[in-house]
Amino acid sequence: MGNDGGSIPTRRELVKQASKDPSTTQVKETQNEKLQHYWAHCALSQKPLSLPIVSDSTGNLYNKDAVLEKLLDSSKNIGQEDNVAGDERTAGTIKSLRDVVEVRFKLDEENDNGEVSKLGGLRLVCLVTGKRLGPGVKAVYIVPCGHAFSENAVREMAGEQCLECNEPYTADNVIPILPTSTAEKDRLRDRASRLQSAGLTHSLKKAPGLGKKRKKERPSKEEEVVNGEAEMAGPEPPPTETMTKSSSNAIRNEGTASLTAKVLAEQEDRNKRRKMATNENLKTLFSSSDGAAGKHSDFMTRGFSIPAGAKR
């Protein structure tokens, strides 16, 4: 109520002030709350994290059973709304099990000091230093083995082999868990794009479906080559010649190839002669009678009989 004579509103009541930007302490508090939530819950199903735990190229943590359910639902096209929501949560980074790596954490069930309830029953520690991994300590894992360490331990123990299994790795394959800085997020995006262009997944395995595409493309290329050679060769030979050439080319030994070519040529000549011998039209062109009588006759008297006593 107001402006009815009973009360006089002030400027503070009529003019709305613009919202202030959050301070650095407020930003850190909200960021810490998000980290605590995602260190304790699956980013896909929002359920408490439980072993086995997997991670994608962005460093998020998921329950492996939730990822399997998501992939099965997407393959069967069941629950399209759930699939869209799952793709939004994973940002389309998980399309198969090759896009995730199982993170091998070390559990410390002793000395929880009341902190177990905050992390959903899991206390994760570094394999080298024994420090608790969580929002207060930056953690990383190595691809493809998946062992998790604190970031300081990996920096101090600089090398090209895993500290737990001695598997070789590169600095590009050290993935931060739940990164917060924009530089780390940009580095992970660049790494994912480079792996995709190379035909690899987050786990450094070949992307599914590439082999099938290559097999489908090969016949088309061969057909193009064959068609080009056929055009340069000119018109096709008759079927008999193609048979002889194909049979002789199929034999790698030169001596046997030449012999088979000769034998096939002789067989063709015999077949031609047989056809000519059995053809009645060709027989009429050749006379089998004796031509002695026709030697003394000219073309004017052929076909007529001349009396024996007649003079020529």
Whole-angstrom distance, CA of residue 33 vs CA of residue 135: 9
Number of Cβ within 10 Å of residue 51's Cβ equals 12
Distance of alpha carbon 76 from alpha carbon 244, whole angstroms: 54
pLDDT level of residue 114 (50, 70, 90 thresholds): very low
Is-contact 53 124, C-beta < 8 A?
A: no
What is the C-alpha separation between 23 and 122, in angstroms, rounded?
32
Q: What is the pLDDT of residues 230-272, one digit of tens each?
A: 555 555 555 544 444 444 455 556 777 777 888 888 888 888 8
What amino acid occupies position 233? A
**In this predicted model, what pLDDT tens digit does every residue of 130-184 receive, in sequence order?**
888 888 888 999 998 999 999 988 888 777 888 888 898 998 999 999 998 899 9
Number of Cβ within a 10 Å radius of residue 216: 9
Q: Beta strand pairing status for 174-176 and 139-142?
A: antiparallel
Question: How many C-beta atoms surround the C-beta of residue 158 within 10 A?
Answer: 7
pLDDT tens-digit series, residues 47-89: 999 889 999 999 999 999 999 998 888 776 544 554 444 555 5
Check the CA dihedral 124-130-134-140 and report its sign: negative
Peptide bond into 238 cis (omega under 30): no
With a CB cutoff of 8 Å and minimum separation 6, the contacts of 152 are: 129, 138
pLDDT at 113 over 70: no
pLDDT of residue 55: 94
* Burial class of residue 234 (count of CB atoms within 10 Å of its CB; 0-12, 13-18, 19+): exposed
- Beta carbons of 170 and 160 less than 8 angstroms apart: yes
- pTM score of the predicted model: 0.57
Residue 39: count of CB within 10 angstroms of its CB: 21
The pLDDT > 90 percentage for the chain reads: 22
Are 135 and 36 in contact by the 8 Å Cβ rule? The answer is: yes
